[in-house]
Amino acid sequence: MQLSEAEWKLMSVLWRAAPGSARDVHDALAESSGWAYTTVKTMLDRLVEKGALRPKARGKQTFYTPTVSQDEARSTAVQTLVERAFDGKLTTLVAHMADDAELSAKDRAELESLLGKLERKSKP
């Protein structure tokens, strides 16, 4: 499931503290986004239509729970990025990031550890 930048913001609130109402999400994002309550409510309704959120009415309020995990959304976002910008090659993305970013010794050690884990997984 592909999320827009704005949808990521709403989902991030709900991944941290679900279930949440439109008011909860609005209050969490009001200062940083400047969105009106009605804007937040409309975006939440769109996320329900997309299948990313499940609504549940409690009295006069609706509470929203994510149906997709943050890891699943990240995987989709990375796959889309790799397909669009790096010809479907994850290695090209990693090489670009390594060339473009200044990696600390700790970053390099973490990458080496991840590569080691991947190598161990691929061996029978």
- pTM of the model as a whole: 0.80
Ramachandran bin of 68, using left for φ above 0, alpha for ψ from -120 to 50, beta for the remaining angles: beta
- What confidence score (pLDDT) does residue 118 get? 85
What's 101's DSSP letter? S
Tokens 């990458």 belong to 111
Residue pLDDT, tens place only, 39-77: 999 999 999 999 999 999 999 999 999 999 999 999 999
Quote the tokens at residue 43.
Answer: 């975006």
CB pairs under 8 A, 24+ apart, for 79-88?
80/2
Residue pLDDT, tens place only, 78-123: 999 999 999 999 889 888 887 877 878 898 889 889 888 988 888 7
Please answer whether residues 48 and 3 qualify as being in contact, where contact means their C-beta atoms are separated by less than 8 angstroms: no
Rounded to 5 degrees, φ, ψ at 53 are -130, 150
